[in-house]
Chain A
Amino acid sequence: MSTVKLTVNGKAVSVDVEDRTLLVQLLRENLNLTGTHVGCDTSQCGACVVHIDGRAVKSCTVLATQAAGSNVTTIEGIAKGEELHPMQAAFRDNHGLQCGFCTPGMIMSSIDIVNRHGGKVDEATVRQELDGNICRCTGYHNIVKAVLDAASRMKVAQAAE
Chain B
Amino acid sequence: MGVEGIGASVVRKEDKRFITGKGRYVDDIKLIGMTYAHFIRSPHAHAKVKGIDSSAAMKMPGVVAVLTGQQIVDDKIGNLICGWAITSKDGSPMKMGAWPAMAPETVRFVGQAVAVVIAETKNQARDAAEAVVVNYEELPAVADVRAALKPGAPQLHPEAPGNIIYDWHIGDDAAVKAAFAKAANVVSLDVTNNRLVPNAMEPRAAIADYDAAEEHFTLWTTSQNPHVARLVLSAFYNVAPEHKLRVIAPDVGGGFGSKIYIYPEEMVALWASKKVGRPVKWTGDRSEAFLTDAHGRDHVTHAEMAFDKDNKILGLRVKTHANFGAYMSLFSSSVPTYLYATLLSGQYVIPAIYAEVMAVYTNTTPVDAYRGAGRPEASYLLERMMETAARQLKVDPAELRKKNFITSFPYQTPVIMTYDAGDFHASIDAAMKAIDYAGFPARKAKAKAEGKLRGIGVSCYIEACGIAPSKAVGSLGAGVGLWESAEIRVNPVGTIEVLTGSHSHGQSHETTFAQLIAERLGVPISQVSIVHGDTDKVQFGMGTYGSRSIAVGGAAIVKAMEKVEAKAKKIAAHALEASENDIVIENGEFKVTGTDKSIALPMVALAAYTAHNLPEGMEPGLKETAFYDPTNFTFPAGAYICEVEVDAATGKTSFVNFVAADDFGRLINPMVVEGQVHGGLAQGIGQALLEHAVYNENGQPVTASFMDYTMPRADDLPSFKIQHTMTLCPSNPLGVKGCGEAGAIGASAAVINAITDAIGNNKLEMPASPDRVWRAIHG
Interface residues, chain A, with chain B CB atoms under 8 Å away:
18, 20, 28, 32-42, 44-45, 47, 74-76, 79, 84, 88, 91-93, 95, 97-104, 107, 123-124, 126-128, 130-131, 133-144
Contacts and interface: CB of A to CB of B under 8 A. Distances in A.
A128 B713 CA distance: 9
Nearest to B711: A134
B703 to A, nearest CB: 12
B12 interface: yes
B192 interface: no
Given A92-B11, A100-B253, A101-B23, A134 B201 contact: yes
Contacts, number: 183
B22 interface: yes
B254 A74 contact: no
Given A20-B123, A35-B21, A101-B253, A139 B715 contact: no
B682 A44 contact: no
Contacts of A79: 20
A28 B25 CA distance: 12
B293 interface: no
Contact of B20 (A35, A42, A124, A143): A35
Interface on chain B toward A: helix, strand, loop, or mixed SS? Answer: loop
Interface of B: 11-12, 14-25, 27-28, 30, 123, 199-203, 251-254, 256, 285-287, 505-508, 671-672, 674-676, 678-683, 705-707, 711-715, 717, 719-720, 743
B719 A123 contact: yes
A140 B30 CA distance: 32
Given A39-B286, A95-B675, A136 B19 contact: no
Given A99-B251, A104-B18, A138-B678, 20 more contacts: A20-B123, A34-B28, A35-B23, A41-B286, A42-B286, A47-B201, A74-B21, A75-B20, A93-B11, A97-B19, A100-B251, A127-B717, A128-B715, A134-B201, A134-B711, A135-B714, A138-B682, A139-B679, A139-B717, A144-B719
Contacts of A130: 713-715
Contact of B202 (A42, A75, A99): A99
Contacts of A139: 678-683, 712, 717, 720, 743
Contact of A99 (B27, B30, B505, B680): B505
Contact of B678 (A18, A37, A91, A142): A142
B520 to A, nearest CB: 24
A74 B19 CA distance: 11
A42 B256 CA distance: 22
B201 A99 contact: yes
A-B complex: 10 closest residue pairs judged by Cβ atoms: A35-B21, A101-B253, A100-B18, A139-B682, A99-B506, A98-B506, A44-B706, A75-B21, A139-B678, A34-B28
Contacts of A32: 30
Contact of B717 (A40, A91, A140): A140
B21 A39 contact: no
A1 to B, nearest CB: 12
B254 A107 contact: no
B253 A144 contact: no
B123 A18 contact: yes
A41 B290 CA distance: 11
Contacts of B682: 136, 138-140
Contact of A39 (B18, B203, B671, B676): B203
Nearest to A89: B19
19 contacts: A41-B285, A41-B287, A44-B711, A45-B286, A45-B706, A76-B22, A84-B19, A88-B20, A97-B15, A98-B679, A100-B14, A102-B253, A103-B19, A130-B713, A130-B714, A133-B713, A134-B201, A138-B678, A141-B720
Given A93-B11, A100-B251, A142-B675, A36 B21 contact: yes
B675 A99 contact: no
A19 B135 CA distance: 33
